[in-house]
Amino acid sequence: MEPKTAIEKIREFLEKEQDTGKILFTYESTNNQINSHVDNKIKIGLNGFKEIILEEETGLELGGMNKKSFSVVIPIEQIKLINHGRISLLGIEVNRIEEPKIDFGIILLIGINKNTTENEDELRQLNFISNGIEGFSIRTIPRRFWCRISSSALQKGFSFEILGNAIVQLYKQKFPDLVKSVEVIFINSYPSSIDQFIVLSSEILAEVREKWKKKIEEWRKRIDCDYDWGCEVCPYQEECYDVKQVLVSREEIKN
């Protein structure tokens, strides 16, 4: 799917969801506003907060086991299509959340400059933001999202607005030449919206998946085997076949 069409589809999706009565917040930030959040509430800085947030210190978990979640990063060369600094939240703000764990999805639209040595593929590894936000820690799970926000960060007023601003700022800091603009979209509270977006994202990322499919097929043939692929003498032939299916399914989710 063309990046332009992908963005149109995402915006259309958000509008439709809003039309059905779901809450859509939009925050617009300038660089100055981003800094004011840094001064007043949660501290932000590239590699400044390498925290392990233990279970007992966790105030809120976004995504995680038995919760719906996704993360999608879409780099786009047409910078003008992206509203730099805009943070959209389909759902509710942190201070109104009552459960300790919630469904959560994150979409990052990133306007890029191709004329740089910085690697575009690295944009998809968003776990680096984990080390840049006070009281926030990501646990990497392919294509899903799982993070912990500490109780003390919640007390200081951690919000999705702050998280969105931090993401914009950290991406610009880490990739100063490659990243020109960043727009952030969060979805929480609406499991059906998350399901629908997962379907939409697999359409958007169909080309990327196609590219990986060939790699996975190649890699599948290279799994080490104690029996040197002498399947006729292997006592575990059936379970080998089954476990291999799980392995391949995981690779497909990942890519």
- Interface residues toward other proteins, by CB under 8 A: 50, 52, 54-55, 64-65, 125, 127, 130-131, 138-142, 144, 146, 223-227, 236, 238-240, 242-247, 249-254
Closest CB to other proteins among 143 and 180?
Answer: 143
Closest CB to other proteins among 26 and 47?
Answer: 47
Closest CB to other proteins among 2 and 241?
Answer: 241
CB 37, min distance to other proteins, A: 24
Q: C-alpha 255: how far from its chain's center?
A: 13
Q: Under a CB-based contact definition with an 8 Å cutoff, are residues 50 and 131 in contact?
A: yes
Q: What H or E segment, with its residue span, contains residue 136?
A: strand 136-138
CB 77, min distance to other proteins, A: 27
Give the position of tokens 């939009």. Answer: 26
Mention every residue, 6+ apart, whose C-beta is less than 8 A from residue 73.
Answer: 108, 110, 123, 124, 126
Q: Under a CB-based contact definition with an 8 Å cutoff, are residues 58 and 149 in contact?
A: yes
Helices (H) and strands (E) in the chain, counts: 7, 9
Q: Under a CB-based contact definition with an 8 Å cutoff, are residues 190 and 91 in contact?
A: yes
Closest CB to other proteins among 208 and 243?
Answer: 243
Of 183, 93, 171, the C-alpha closest to 132 is: 171
CB 115, min distance to other proteins, A: 26
Closest CB to other proteins among 51 and 120?
Answer: 51
Give the position of tokens 């969060």. Answer: 186
**Torsion angle of the four alpha carbons 5, 9, 15, 18, in this order, in degrees rounded to the nearest 10:** -160
Strand order in the sheet with 179-188: 24-28, 86-90, 179-188, 104-112, 69-76
Round to whole Å and give the CA distance between 90 and 59: 21
CB 171, min distance to other proteins, A: 17
Closest CB to other proteins among 104 and 146?
Answer: 146
CB 194, min distance to other proteins, A: 14
CB 223, min distance to other proteins, A: 5
Closest CB to other proteins among 55 and 218?
Answer: 55
Q: What H or E segment, with its residue span, contains residue 181?
A: strand 179-188
CB 240, min distance to other proteins, A: 5
